[in-house]
Amino acid sequence: MATYPKEMQESIVQVEATRPQRMKARFPRLSLAEQEALLRGFHPDYKEGGKRPLQVGPSQGELVPHEVADLLEAYPLLDPREVDLSKVDYDVDVLVIGGGGAGTVAALWACEAGIPADRILIATKLRHGDSNSMMAQGGIQAADKPHDSPAIHYLDVIGGGHFAGDPKLVRALVQDGPMIIRWHEALGVMYDKGPDGTMITIHGGGTSRKRMHSAKDYTGMEIMRVLRDEARSRGIPVLEFSPAVELLTDVHGQVAGAVLWNLETEEYLIVRAKATVLATGGWGRLHIQGFPTTNHYGATADGLVLAYRVGAKLRDLDSVQYHPTGAAYPEQLVGLLITEKVRGLDAQPVNRDGELFVHPLEPRDVESAAFIRECMPLEQGGRGRGVVTPTGMVGVWLDTPMVDMIHGKGTFQRALSSIWRMYVRFDIDPTREPILVYPSLHYQNGGVAIDENGWTGIPGLFAGGEVEGGVHGKNRLMGNSLLDYNVFGRRAGLAAAAWAKDARVGRLTLAHVKRYVEQLKAAAVPKERRAPLLLPDYRGERVLARMVDLL
Amino acid sequence: MLTVYIMGKGYRVPEGLTIMKAMEYAGYRLVRGCGCRGGYCGACATVYRLPGDYRLYADLACQTTVQDGMYIAQLPSTPAERADYQLSQVAPRGEALLALYPELARCVACNTCTRSCPQKLEVMDAVQAALRGDIRQVAELTFDCVQCGLCAMRCPAEIAHYHVWQLARRLCGAYLTPRAQHLARRVAEVESGAFDAELDRLMGMGKDELAKAYQARDIEP
Ligand SMILES: Cc1cc2nc3c(=O)[nH]c(=O)nc-3n(C[C@H](O)[C@H](O)[C@H](O)COP(=O)(O)OP(=O)(O)OC[C@H]3O[C@@H](n4cnc5c(N)ncnc54)[C@H](O)[C@@H]3O)c2cc1C
Ligand code: FES
């Protein structure tokens, strides 16, 4: 089992030695200029050679990570000439692509707006609810306390995102926040509350008010499973294991549904829809710059690929969010998220020598850059004070025993039960020993450009959740993406319902794909590049080397 | 290296992998049985036996380390019917759970559910609480349930536990817990436009002015 090896234990002694004095210490926050310098020096986004400008498509010239460019500049999985569009398998008013949080919310509000449940279809890649939404731990922001306000929330979002967010989207986010939490309350989400019903709220990185609402450290799971249950109560149909591989347009150029692919039977299916909502989530499984990820198995940026081929613009994809605290030990947990709530509950990040080296709750990108600097060897410009594990991973300590010392015995196990369980399985008790962390690829800050109603600018196509961009500028704060998927999932669902009421769909085509293929050819994009990715491939090298397709 | 038997076939895999990663190492490209990969979604329910041990173990493939000689089979899905209800039409009274899921009464208190729970929840206690009509206790005992279905697959009384728990938690959240008054007030304020002027002002600010306002925020201790 995995208690700490000797070298790591020696460092823990240092951590324990400095703890009494750190319990009293307050590390100063960095000025904007200091933050900027740290980001430039150590954040992977600033690393040379990590990105390239797109050569084709509506956002030509935009810088994106190579891993993303390789998918956007790629040929379709299905040859458009081999798809028979005259036989429609599902004919609906609203098609929702993606059965995570945003998709489920969009479907619920389309239903609320008067679209009958059986005229809606959710098509999703894995099971309904298998998504990043299910994994969120820490919480959801909303400015509902008396000393807080949507305006204060606005400043936090816009500043945290380095002033790059779209003001209209930020406003929609903060303004709808309280209403969303109230909707959840009515649906039966078990938020953490005081005896009189007052929400228990804490800080998150970059918040100026304690507005993080939580449901223990299973916030995402609790919200997602309630939304899913409500969708089941309403009888909204869901096609599981049926990812969208292409959007469809009609002869007038509006989006009119999608081609799905049944992952198990390997047949394609045609869905004709008057309105389509894209809710496919993010990109963690692209492992940008080789980072491990916190994301679910299906987070492969498919939505970006589909939307781009149909002419939608993308934005802010040059900025990648690495969560400062991904697990770095034991090996089995590497990459998995250690919620920011642990730092919200006063655990401090400390280096090999037990020294606190950064304020625990700087904005995520700044905090991650500080961790990377601490771990990077001296000869590469870092401080070389990380802790090295037996498998060669490096990380900094998160001093988790502080949580119970400050907030009382039992707090950790109650408020952070998923983290506690995760470590105890591997014989590490985070209430007694610190845990080792290192940044992990976490969130797609940018995405498909939308307006405040979730409209992509392409007739008939709406988007909500992590797949869209503009809400968080260049850096999302914790708790704002659960809010994002609710606010923009809802707005996209309502807008799609309104559009579907008047829309008429003409003959279906894949003309946009054929046009895109011409552009790819003109740009001499290598033939073997195919997208969307659908699922990452983790099969062992030995097997891959000998694999043949015989059946 | 050690040997694991995936659905009866032996494969050599490195030590220290989770069951999920060991299957991938062996050459499986997972479609079913893999969702979050982090212990939150319950997609990876797995049963296994160990050599020389008659017991059947149940756990999450993404959270369990392989052992030498392990016999592994994943459950691709749990067939279990969810009762048809609208939350607004279920009265949060003690009988509600039993009325919708009468098979709860078939519990023989064998405790197999508790033993098969990868989250180590007190599942049978929750069944007993449900029988007593203590919805709040059911909700609290089952809050950490990832709905993997392993208890339901092993239960001799054929209870679909996780569906019952879902209903109990929603009833608890919606009806047995006081609503937040500050929240209701804030929603009304937003609707009445109380923050519009200030938001308009912020939206009209240039970057420098915004940056100044941002730096000058007072931060709640
Ligand atoms: C570990 C973790 C912790 C987090 N913690 C927090 C937190 O504390 N607070 C916070 O605010 N945010 C948090 N986040 C971020 C937040 O959870 C997500 O950004 C948000 O839930 C995204 O919602 P979504 O509906 O847009 O995407 P998802 O929930 O990921 O849903 C997308 C769905 O689309 C499906 N899909 C993908 N491609 C296709 C396709 N081609 N066809 C059909 N379906 C497809 C996916 O399988 C998935 O079901 C966390 C994220 C992670 C990973
Ligand atoms: S894959 Fe989600 S719990 Fe294992």
Query: Do both A219 and A341 map to the same domain?
Result: no
Ligand 2 pocket residue status of B60, Cβ below 6 Å: yes
CB pairs under 8 A between A and B: 221
- Chain segment A298-347, per-residue pLDDT in tens: 999 999 999 999 999 999 999 999 999 999 999 889 999 999 889 999 99
Q: Do residues B170 and B108 both lie within one domain?
A: yes
Strands A212-213 and A90-97: unpaired
In a domain, residue B220? The reply is no
Q: Looking at residue B20, which CATH number applies to its domain?
A: 3.10.20.30
Pick the catalytic residue from A343, A364, A472, A491.
A343
How remote is the CA of residue A418 from the centroid of ligand 2, in Å? 13
Task: Work out the number of other CB atoms within 10 angstroms of the CB of residue B135.
Answer: 23
d(CA A496, CA A454): 9
What are the chain B neighbours of A203 within 8 Å (beta carbons)?
A: 220
Does one domain contain both B16 and B32? yes
What was the pLDDT predicted at A178? 98
**Active-site residue flag, A184:** no
Pocket test for ligand 2, best of B32, B37, B72 (most atoms within 8 A of CB): B37
- Note if A323 is an active site residue: yes
* Active-site hit among A184, A323, A373, A476: A323
A287: left (phi over 0), alpha (psi -120 to 50) or beta: left
Which residues of chain A neighbour B171 with C-beta distances below 8 Å? Answer: 188
Task: Retrieve residue A51's tokens.
Answer: 């990105």
From first to last of its 221 residues, what are the pLDDT tens digits of chain B? 999 999 999 999 999 899 999 999 999 999 999 999 999 999 999 999 999 999 999 999 999 999 999 999 999 999 999 999 999 999 999 999 999 999 999 999 999 999 999 999 999 999 999 999 999 999 999 999 999 999 999 999 999 999 999 999 999 999 999 999 999 999 999 999 999 999 999 999 999 999 999 999 999 99
Question: Would you say residue B168 lies in a domain?
Answer: yes
Model pLDDT, residue A331: 86
Helix (H) or strand (E) holding A278: strand A268-278
Which of A147, A198, A538 is the closest to B24 by Cβ? A538
Q: Are residues A414 and A479 in the same domain?
A: no
| pLDDT score of A1 more than 50 | no
Instruction: Identify whether residues B97 and B144 lie together within a single domain.
Output: yes
With CB atoms and an 8 Å threshold, state whether B166 touches A197: no
Q: What is the total count of domains within chain A?
A: 2
Let me know if residue A153 belongs to a domain. yes
- Containing domain of residue B7, as a range? 2-74
Q: Which of B74, B95, B114 is the last residue of a domain?
A: B74
| Interacting residues of A265 by C-beta distance below 8 A, sequence separation 6+ | none
Residue B80 is assigned to a structural domain of this protein? no
Closest residue CA from atom 5 of ligand 1: A136
**Full-model pTM:** 0.96
Same domain for A505 and A419, yes or no, is no
Ligand 2 midpoint to CA A291 (Å): 20
Whether the CB of B127 sits within 6 Å of ligand 2: no
> Residue B4 to residues B12, B15, B55: CA-CA distances in angstroms?
7, 10, 17
CA A450 – CA A460 distance, rounded (Å)? 13
Residues A427 and A307 in one domain: no
Give me the half-sphere count of Cα atoms (radius 13 Å) on the Cβ side of residue A472: 34
A264 in reach of chain B (CB within 8 A): yes
**Contact (CB<8Å) B143/A156:** no
Ligand nearest to the CA of A127: 1
Nearest by CB to B144, from A147, A154, A417: name it: A417
Region of residue A163 (phi > 0: left; psi between -120 and 50: alpha; otherwise: beta): left
Q: Is residue B19 part of a domain?
A: yes
Atom of ligand 1 nearest to the CA of B40: 1
Identify any residues that bridge with A447 across adjacent strands, giving them in sequence order: A315
Query: Do A374 and A277 lie in a common domain?
Result: no
- Answer yes or no: do A416 and A314 share one domain: no
B62-113 pLDDT tens trace: 999 999 999 999 999 999 999 999 999 999 999 999 999 999 999 999 999 9
Domain containing A239 equals 75-81+109-319+445-513
Helix (H/G/I), strand (E/B), else coil: A184 = helix
B208 touches A at CB < 8 Å: no
Q: Return the ligand 2 atom nearest residue A297 CA.
A: 1
Confidence at A2, pLDDT banded by 50, 70, 90: low
Q: Which of A145, A159, A216 sits opposite B143 (nearest CB)?
A: A216
In total, how many domains does chain B have?
3
Residue B199 lies inside a defined structural domain of this protein: yes
* Inside any domain, residue A37: no
- Among A9, A61, A71, A6, CA closest to A525: A71
Is this complex's ipTM strictly greater than 0.85?
Answer: yes
